[in-house]
């Protein structure tokens, strides 16, 4: 994290039902595009938030040994938080279940259990933390942004020169 830098932050509370996951995906894509995040990073973040939100919904409010609360009236909302830092996008998903996420190695025949594998593949780092004095946890992911120096210059419209990364110095006469 950069000292003295405050990230751009956007958050959305969502109901713990599967219909909300679609809204969370759209919200994430729109927010990151509005911040001019590169398309590849937006795509990775949307995939990650989809998996984390689906897990939050699937396990929302579930205590050890009980059924998940997804879709039950009175279930507490989950929250997605997006942060834009100079070198990464952070995706955080809060739910009300203290059960830690487990990276599974399902068989090829298994129909599920691959969501966190996608998160692991697309993230620079990911993990979870518990809320202080509150039920639940946050699962987070860091997605690296491309180094601007490594990006190829954009092509310019006809008649204009392409942007340059060279420092242009102006000298005054006198």
**Lowest mean per-residue pLDDT among 56-60, 136-140, 161-165:** 161-165
pLDDT score at 104: 74
Considering only residues 147 and 169, tell me which one the structure prediction assigns the higher pLDDT.
Answer: 147
For residue 142, the tally of other CB atoms under 10 A from its CB is 17
Q: Is residue 111 part of a domain?
A: yes
Q: Is residue 167 part of a domain?
A: no
Structure tokens at 109: 């025949």
- The size of the chain, in residues, is 174
pLDDT for 33 beyond 70: yes
pLDDT for 108 beyond 70: no
Determine the Cα–Cα distance for residues 123 and 102; give it in Å rounded to an integer: 15
Which CATH number characterizes residue 45's domain?
3.30.565.10
pLDDT for 5 beyond 70: yes
Domain containing 110: what range? 8-150
Considering only residues 128 and 132, tell me which one the structure prediction assigns the higher pLDDT.
Answer: 128
Q: Is residue 170 part of a domain?
A: no
What is the overall mean pLDDT for the chain? 78
Res. 167 pLDDT band, cuts 50 70 90:
very low
Q: Is residue 32 part of a domain?
A: yes
Q: Is residue 75 part of a domain?
A: yes
Q: Is residue 168 part of a domain?
A: no
Judge if pTM exceeds 0.85: no
CA 96, chain centre distance (Å): 18
Side-chain-side CA neighbours of residue 122 (13 Å): 24
State the average pLDDT over residues 142-165.
Answer: 58
Q: Is residue 164 part of a domain?
A: no
pLDDT score at 76: 79
Total count of domains within the chain: 1
CA 159, chain centre distance (Å): 39
């Amino acid at each position: 994290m950069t000292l003295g830098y405050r990230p751009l932050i956007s958050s959305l509370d969502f109901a713990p039902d599967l219909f909300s996951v679609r809204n969370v995906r759209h919200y994430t894509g729109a927010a990151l595009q509005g911040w001019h995040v590169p398309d590849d990073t937006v795509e990775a973040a949307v995939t990650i938030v989809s998996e984390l939100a689906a897990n939050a919904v699937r396990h929302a409010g579930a205590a050890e040994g009980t059924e998940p609360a997804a879709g039950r009236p009175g279930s507490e909302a989950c929250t997605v938080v997006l942060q834009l830092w100079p070198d990464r996008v952070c995706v955080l998903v809060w739910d009300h279940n203290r059960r830690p996420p487990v990276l599974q190695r399902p068989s090829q025949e298994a129909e599920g259990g691959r969501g966190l594998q996608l998160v692991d593949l697309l993230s620079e780092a990911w993990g979870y933390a518990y809320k202080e004095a509150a039920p639940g946890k946050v699962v987070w992911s860091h997605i690296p942004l491309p180094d601007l120096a490594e990006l190829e210059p954009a092509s310019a419209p006809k008649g204009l020169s392409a942007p340059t990364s060279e420092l242009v110095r102006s000298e005054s006469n006198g």
